[in-house]
Amino acid sequence: MRKWMSTVTATALMVTILAGCAGGEEAPKTSASSQQSTGPKITLKLIQGKVEVTDQIKQMAADYTKDNPNVTIDAQVVRDLDTMLKTRFASGDEPDVFFTKSFSGVKDWSERLLDLSGEPWMNQVMESAMPGMTIGGKKYGFPTAMEGYGFIYNKDLFAKAGIDKVPTTLTELKQMNEKLKAAGIPSYAEAYKEGFVLGRNLFNLPFAYAKDSTDLIGKINGGTAKVQDVPLMDNFFDVLDMTVKYGKGVESVGVSYDNQVADFSSGKTAMMQQGVWTIDLITKVNPNLNIGMFAIPLTDNPSDTKLPVGIPTYYVINKNSKQVEESKKFLIWLHKNGQKYLVDSMHLIPAFKDMKATKELGPLAADMNTYVEKNQTIPWAYSLWPAGMDVQFTKALQAYVGGQLTKEKTLEEIQKMWTTAVKK
């Protein structure tokens, strides 16, 4: 998904941002910032993921300090967001503003969150962003971006293999892989070392393609259905098998996100299962790479094939913070300047009606928007799973890829994990 939870390093990347630590153009001043310019000294503690835009976050924080000289933003940009948040809250060193995941994260932290329903920017939030931050009728989040994922592909390598259109069915996907193989082009180098790639994004597909994901997952939670009952589960394994067969094989479980993106960006593979969040990393390696993105089919009906699109994370405010008012002003400022920071600087696809995606966001965003405009999207159903299940599911799926478990045993293990999580 991101990916707000994606990573470009193997370890957590933290950056402390103090007043005046970066230069650049000043953001437009707001009335809120003017009121605070001569106020008492304040430190605003912020924790978020998305390490690939650390520099941009640093600039954003420095610009906020320029508008508000009395405010220092102490920001940590980390890989393992969940662990960092639990550690900080347990130690009493609580953040004022932090990232949390769509729906499941908002639900888990809801007792600590400030209701933002009445904030002035809320009426500009897209309707699609509302469900992931709404609990009991209260709206707790500031949506960071809209994201989508599928198979990102190298158009030149497809042309070299004689592929003139992207597959829209499972059969066409198999045929496409055979054409690439015949041309001596590896299809994939999937990052199955990473939970978000295997146990979350890819495994999301059979749930997201269900007629009613919420009802299906509710039944599994309630014990009236099992993971084995998910209608397109066998088709999911067909796709997973293809990525292994036409990719790195069992070595896939050792491929990291960094290596996956590097192999694709340097032209070593024709595809990778990733999302719009990878555009900056790809262009840093090869700015001239001719790429696109298509939805991963799970059936032989082209009309079924849709792209998973959702809001990965939200900014939320700790309701017990001593800096609640300044935190609210920060989000007002961020919305007012969202086009500059979220879109133009961080290259995110906005989830606000008064911000506009630009051509500079690149071909992946353009392809995603095509699916959105045609209403060919499916949800990020994994947000409805019990908390932390993507990490657990990854272990079982890695064992399957590695040949230690059969498909039947893999699903049995996943069902046991699910049952245990629900009983806690």
Check pLDDT > 50 for residue 29: no
337, 351 Cβ separation under 8 angstroms: no
Q: Are 115 and 140 in contact (CB under 8 A)?
A: yes
- The average pLDDT across 366-384 equals 89
pLDDT for res 39 = 73
Do the domains 148-309+379-423 and 31-146+311-354 match in fold? yes
Residue of 82 and 160 predicted with greater confidence: 160
Just give the CATH number of 31-146+311-354: 3.40.190.10
**Ramachandran sector of residue 59 (left: φ over 0; alpha: ψ -120 to 50; beta: rest):** alpha
Structure tokens at 211: 């007629």
Domain 148-309+379-423, CATH number (from 3.40.50.2000, 2.40.280.10, 3.40.190.10, 3.90.1170.50)? 3.40.190.10
Domain residue spans of the chain: 31-146+311-354, 148-309+379-423
Distance CA 222, CA 215 (A): 10
**Minimal CA–CA distance to 4: which of 74, 51, 58?**
51
Q: Which of 58, 60, 45 is nearest to 98 (CA)?
A: 45
pLDDT digits (tens, 9 = 90+) for 252-280: 999 999 999 999 999 999 999 999 989 88
Confidence of residue 8 (pLDDT cuts 50, 70, 90): very low
Residue 23 has pLDDT above 60, yes or no: no
User: Which helix (H) or strand (E) element contains residue 377?
Assistant: strand 377-378
Mean of per-residue pLDDT scores for the chain: 89
Q: What confidence tens digit (pLDDT) does each residue in 185-225 have?
A: 999 999 999 999 999 999 999 999 999 998 999 999 999 99
Question: Can you tell me the distance from the alpha carbon of 75 to that of 77, in angstroms, rounded to the nearest whole number?
Answer: 6
pLDDT at 12 over 80: no
CA–CA separation, 96 and 47 (whole Å)? 8
pLDDT band with cut points at 50, 70 and 90 for residue 35: very low
**Among candidate residues 413, 138, 172, the one with its CA nearest the CA of residue 302:** 172
Looking at residue 38, its pLDDT comes to 59
Query: Which segments within 183-333 are labelled E, that is strand?
Result: 271-275, 291-294, 307-310, 313-317
Percent of the chain with pLDDT over 90: 74
pTM for the predicted model, two decimal places? 0.76
